[in-house]
Homo-oligomer: A and B are copies of this chain.
Amino acid sequence: MPDLSRFALNQITTPKWSMGEAIEGLRRHGIPGIGVWRRFIDDYGTAATARHLKDAGLWVASYCTGVWFNRADDAGLQAAIDENRKVFDQAAEVGAPCVVMVVGGLPEGSKDLAGQRARVRDGLAALREHATGLGVTIALEPLHPMYAAERACLNTLKQANDLCDELGAGYGTVVDVYHCWWDPELKAEIARGGADRVSSFHICDWRVPTRNMRDRAMVGDGVADVAAIRSWLDEAGYDGPVELELFSELDWWQRDPEEVVAIAIERCAPFAGALEERTA
């Protein structure tokens, strides 16, 4: 039996499944962890989700996602902060150790990328007290630069580490293979963050050719060196979740989730075991 002790399936990988179906599906397949999404929790009910997760004995790797800060006006930014507080409440209720912050792109009509990055910092800072009170980490996810305009103006692990250094305790990062595999600074920034900086390691692969903006490949089917990135995290001492997250409009989202999960286990097992086993 492969060691899947750190493996989690992010439920966006199997969007045909409701929350209840995902929980049962992972239990059936022996996957111990899950990454949960807000809309599936909302559909199933927060309390029902928390209860079902507990009954199934699943641990939660991460909660996706925070609310975008792409608002040009102060009232809008404040509304995003307020909504994010509710997100953190919900994350705490379902037992998520962190909320993955996808910080939003540029506000409508804006070209002020540096200014928006500063506003994002302010928004993240405003969440600290509430999040730390709940014991939920504010996990900063750099998104691939091709999403800078529309989804997140936080685009490199260096930016995320800089924010963590600036904002203090309560913040972490998400290292996602799809978003970061190209970055010449990735190895150095993983080492810089150290063992406790990373909240979750999201794995998948970079497809060649890339046909659209939601076209991730299953681990092993692309050109990203997942083994190397995991080894850098090992060297840093990271021993948290290894979480498969696939956005795949043209392929994996169309398949039967049973098939997706079976293949996922096979492909992810080499990267999903305990830290000690691999470094021994």
Contact = CB atoms under 8 A, between A and B. Distances in A.
Nearest to A226: B111
Given A210-B213, A212-B212, A213-B210, A182 B148 contact: yes
Contacts of A181: 113, 148
A263 interface: no
Report the interface size class on chain A. Answer: 20 to 34
A249 interface: no
A273 B144 CA distance: 34
Nearest to A145: B182
Contacts of A182: 113, 145, 148-149, 153, 155
A183 interface: yes
A180 to B, nearest CB: 9
Given A110-B223, A112-B225, A145 B208 contact: no
Contact of A223 (B111, B159, B183): B111
Mostly helix, strand, loop or mixed at chain A's interface? loop
A209 interface: yes
A117 interface: yes
A199 B70 CA distance: 35
Nearest to A222: B149
Contacts of A228: 111
Contacts of A168: none
Interface in A211-229: 212-213, 222-225, 228
A150 interface: yes
A7 interface: no
Contact of A224 (B111, B146, B210, B223): B111
A34 interface: no
A223 B117 contact: no
A133 interface: no
Chain B CB count within 10 A is highest, among A113, A206, A212, for A113
Contact of A183 (B112, B145, B225): B145
A113 B111 CA distance: 32
Given A113-B225, A150-B208, A153-B182, 10 more contacts: A110-B223, A144-B145, A145-B183, A146-B146, A148-B181, A148-B182, A149-B210, A155-B183, A155-B184, A159-B184
